[in-house]
Amino acid sequence: MGRHMNDLFGLGGEPVLGAIFDLDGVLVDTAKYHYLAWKRLAQELGFFFTEEDNERLKGVSRLRSLEILLETGHCSMTEEEKAAAAEKKNAWYVEYLHALDEGALLPGSREYLRQLRAGGIKTALGSASKNAPLILERLSIAPFFDAVIDGNLVSRAKPDPEVFLKGAKALALSPSSCVVFEDSAAGIEAARAGGMRVIGVGRPENLPGAEKYVASLQELLFCPDQIWW
Ligand code: BG6
Ligand code: MG
């Protein structure tokens, strides 16, 4: 008997025709570089920003991340100062990204994208990052996406569903036939608000609301002899 296409996701229910991937923390291990850059900014402002503090920044836009950092350090800035500080953090982050190579891809990312596409599933990127094009290019994974929606194309940050709704639209699919892969609470909320199914990449206790959880995309890979198409 042939396999159902939802076996590619380990999901039951209605057929899933499209997969929309968050980038940072789902496909690529960039969270450590974001953290290094925010920690450096906090140090300049005179406080220590812990890795635990950094959890709150995952999935959140650059400017909102800065605001959370300032709250954590009990600092305040004018809008102009915020823009300059966010710019400074980004320059450091982009400098760290120069060290990025294919080893930064999280386990199973490339293989899973390849399997989904071979199975006829449409794929999109749905990321808050304005640096997504640079990262896709450095990791040579741009050809794995039918559509790329990133921080340059959205005006409302997750948990607003805009980025994922634009992703589904670009794939010409209804939101309910798409599954989103997310490692952040804001992203899971966004996908659900958009009427999509969600697979959480990470621990269930940190990511309420997903339909299924995996530690990494590697868990969803089929053995080559099990592929049915
Ligand atoms: C998200 C990250 O993917 O992108 C956040 O999880 C980050 O940590 C956000 O702040 C915006 O990224 P960038 O690269 O535009 O600063
Ligand atoms: Mg993420």
| Residue to probe by mutation, ligand 1, list 21, 61, 106, most atoms within 8 Å of CB | 61
Question: What is the C-alpha to C-alpha distance for residues 105 and 172, in angstroms, rounded to an integer?
Answer: 28
Pocket test for ligand 1, best of 20, 22, 24 (most atoms within 8 A of CB): 24
Q: Are 25 and 58 in contact (CB under 8 A)?
A: yes
pTM of model > 0.85: yes
What is the residue with the minimal CA distance to atom 8 of ligand 1? 58
pLDDT in tens, the chain (229 residues): 446 778 899 999 999 999 999 999 999 999 889 999 999 999 999 999 999 999 889 888 999 999 999 999 999 999 999 999 999 999 999 999 998 988 999 999 999 999 999 999 999 999 999 999 999 999 999 999 999 999 999 999 999 999 999 999 999 999 999 999 999 999 999 999 999 999 999 999 889 999 999 999 999 997 544 444 4
Closest protein CA for atom 11 of ligand 1: 129
Cβ atoms of residues 18 and 6 within 8 Å: no
Give the per-residue pLDDT at 222. 77
Q: Among 169, 223, 161, 157, which Cα is nearest to 188's?
A: 161
Question: In angstroms, what is the span from residue 31 Cα to ligand 2's centroid?
Answer: 8
To which residue do tokens 């996908």 refer? 191
Exactly one of 7, 22, 150, 225 is catalytic; name it. Answer: 22
Same fold, 2-29+103-220 and 31-97: no
Q: Looking up tokens 């659900």, which residue turns up? A: 192
Q: What is the CATH number of domain 2-29+103-220?
A: 3.40.50.1000
Domain 31-97 of CATH type 1.10.150.240: yes
Gap between the Cα atoms of 102 and 129, Å rounded = 19
Helix (H) or strand (E) holding 38: helix 31-45
Q: Which pLDDT value is given to residue 225?
A: 46
| Residue-range domain boundaries for the chain | 2-29+103-220, 31-97
- Residue 227 has a pLDDT of 46
Nearest to 158 by CA among 133, 135, 180: 180
Q: Please report the pLDDT score of residue 3 as a whole number.
A: 61
